[in-house]
Amino acid sequence: MFGKILIANRGEIAMRVVRACRTLGIRTVAIHSDVDATAPHVRFADEAVCVGPADPRRSYLNIPQIIAAAEITGADAVHPGYGFLSENAEFAELCRRCGLTFIGPTPEAMRLWGDKVRAREAAKRFGLPLLPGTTVLRDAEDAAVQAARIGYPVILKAAGGGGGRGMRVVRDDSEIRRSFETATSEAQAGFKNPDVYLEKFVEEPRHIELQVLGDGHGHIFTFGERECSLQRRHQKIIEEAPSPVMTPEKRAELSEVCAHALLETGYTSLGTLEFLMDERGNLYFMEMNTRVQVEHPVTELVTGIDLVENQIRAAAGQALSLPSGRALGLRGHALECRINAEDPRTFVPWPGLITEYLPPGGGGVRVDSGVYGGFRVPNNYDPMLAKVITHGATRAEAIARMRCALDEFVIGGIRTNIPLHQALLRDPDVVAGKMSTRTIERLRF
Active site residues: 291
Distance CA 77, CA 301 (A): 27
Cite the beta strand spans of 171-277 per DSSP E. 196-200, 206-214, 220-232, 235-241, 269-277
Q: Round to the nearest angstrom and report the end-to-end CA distance of the chain.
A: 50
**Beta strand ranges found along 54-94 (DSSP E):** 77-79
What backbone phi and psi angles, to 5 degrees, belong to 157? -135, 145
Gap between the Cα atoms of 339 and 238, Å rounded = 10
Sequence-separated (6 or more) residues with CB below 8 Å from residue 439 = 229, 230, 424, 427, 429, 430
What is the rounded distance in angstroms from the CA atom of residue 395 to the CA atom of residue 367? 18
What is Dmax (Cα atoms) for the chain?
Answer: 60
Residues 6+ apart with CB under 8 A from 312: 2, 5, 20, 21, 24, 26, 79, 103
CA-to-CA distance for 321 and 329, rounded, in angstroms?
Answer: 15
- Are the beta carbons of 119 and 288 closer than 8 angstroms? yes
Give me Rg for the CA atoms of the chain.
21
CA-CA distance, 259 to 288, in Å (whole number)? Answer: 13
Strand locations in 325-438 (E): 333-340, 352-353, 356-358, 365-369, 376-377, 384-392, 410-412
